Amino acid sequence: MSSADTITAYHLSLSADDQLICAKLRSCIDAALPEAESKIWHAHPVWFLDGNPVVGYSRLKDCIRLLFWSGQSFEEPGLKSEGKFKAAEARYTDAAQIDDAELNRWLGKAREIQWDYKNIVKRKGKLERL
């Protein structure tokens, strides 16, 4: 099964409203990061640049969470800090909440501003900026 098929299968497991959100996110991510490798990683769609995770989304109890692994460094008011590293998120309950211009700006920053998550285990939990 190809990565496109597995992401499609992920989408099909969701409610109709969540499918609309994920389809819009996927379309924007694929258009903005055509060189990225996409696959199901830890049970959720994630896009990688040179083996480094940069953006993905997942279904939470009450929303779809869009996560940028290096998002805290984007300095964007629409993204909220997530976790103990450099990740930041946006949450959606309706596809109409997704602002295309904002999302495209974030995706541009995802390409330019990256922390090296690919080697975090090798560096014993220490992140370095790429």
**Does residue 11 have a pLDDT over 70?**
yes
Residue with tokens 């999302």: 103
Sign of CA dihedral 116, 109, 49, 91: positive
Domain of 19: which CATH number? Answer: 3.90.1150.200
Pair 105, 32: CB distance under 8 Å = no
Give the number of domains in the chain: 1
Instruction: Evaluate whether residue 46 is within a structural domain.
Output: yes
25-32 mean pLDDT: 98
Global pTM? 0.91
Instruction: Evaluate whether residue 92 is within a structural domain.
Output: yes
Instruction: Evaluate whether residue 130 is within a structural domain.
Output: no
Domain assignment of residue 21, given as a range: 3-112
% of the chain beyond a pLDDT of 70: 95
What does DSSP assign to residue 97? G
Pair 87, 67: CB distance under 8 Å = yes
Instruction: Evaluate whether residue 123 is within a structural domain.
Output: no
80-92 mean pLDDT: 94
Helix or strand holding residue 22 (H, E): helix 16-32
